[in-house]
Structure 1
Amino acid sequence: MGMNVAPSEGEGGEEAMSEINVVPLTDVMLVLLIIFLIAVPVVIQTVEVNLPSVRLLPTTTKPENVSLSIRAADDGACEVFWGMSRVNSNEMLTRAIQHIEDEIERFGGAENMTEDDLPEVHIRGDVNTPWRCIGGPIFVMQQAGFTRVGFISEPAPGVGIQRL
């Protein structure tokens, strides 16, 4: 690769160069083109996922289900309510284990129960509640033996409920 310089003083005086060397510009453009040709297929590759369709189902509340209400207090602490009484993690775990044991005893043993007979946990979380306040009670209830944990929400205004 060479460089074109203006003629020296002895060869005819000083002249301004009017030609632009486009070889470096072309090299840079070709390198960028190759980079983009390699990078674009990587960016647009996606994993095919069949997402569930959203349907609002009416909640069937059975007496054996546990209703938890969760909100964040003004000081940032998490408040969990079992029914209408406030509980901490230890009280929640103790009550949950006792609730599961009472249900098993009511059916005459675990061998007499089906998956549909197991009680569920319904969580009502305030909109402004941070996830850490919701995740803790879910973990505690799963430790106690609850396999079904669901969230209760309000449908958007004007949205009908589709019955299955």
Structure 2
Amino acid sequence: MAMTVTDHDNDELMSEINMIPLIDVMLVLLIVFIITIPVIKHAVQVNLPQANAERSTPPPQAVRLSVQADGRYLWNDEPIDDAQLDERLQTIAAQDVQPPLHLLGDRDVRYERVAQVLAKAQQAGVKGIGFVTEPTR
């Protein structure tokens, strides 16, 4: 390391920056970073499960059951009577993957008819029942 020798007889101010402490700090930081880099590179080994590439079956299409204002039932827009309703609900309940039953009650229908559909669906064993509403205009 080089040093400059100055004449101390002068009362002039030194205008040079002492670089030695700065270089010492830089070398210490360099050594610290060199030591910590291999520690950062260590990874944790994780055993992940293997995924199966099986095709999933699409969900069945929902059944739309409408209760008209006069009490008639529409099964996917097809008119049916009470006996046919019982048969179709039991057919749905017997399936492995049940299609959801979307129930749409007319605004002017008696609640008794809607409650009858709910009771029949419960007795048949239908698990997924949803109520369809129409927005107010």
TM-score normalised by structure 2 residue count: 0.50
Q: Which has the higher contact order (CA 8 A, sep 6+)?
A: 1
Query: For structure 2, which runs of at least 5 residues remain unmatched after alignment?
Result: 1-58
Q: Distance in 1 between matches of 2:62 and 2:117?
A: 15
Match of 1:152 in 2: 132
After TM superposition, give the deviation of residue 118 of structure 1 in Å. Answer: 3.5
1:72 aligned to 69, 73, 77, which one?
Answer: 69
Residue 76 (structure 2) pairs with residue 83 (structure 1): yes
Distance 1:64 1:154 in 2: 20
Secondary structure at the aligned position of 1:94 is classed as helix
Displacement of 1:99: 2.5
Shift of 1:125: 1.0
Matched residue of 2:67: which SS?
Answer: strand
Unaligned runs of 5+ in 1: 1-61, 105-116, 158-164
Counterpart Cα distance in 1 of 2:135 and 2:69? 22
Structure showing greater Rg: 2
The DSSP-based 3-state class of the residue aligned with 2:65 is: strand
The runs of at least 4 aligned residues of structure 1 exceeding 6 Å deviation read none
Instruction: Say how many residue pairs are matched.
Output: 79
Match of 1:150, SS state, is strand
Q: Give the match's secondary structure for 2:64.
A: strand
Percent of aligned pairs sharing the same letter: 24
The alpha-carbon distance between structure 1 residues 150 and 136, as it changes in their structure 2 partners (threshold 3 A), is same
TM-score w.r.t. the length of structure 1 is: 0.43
Letter in 2 for 1:119: P
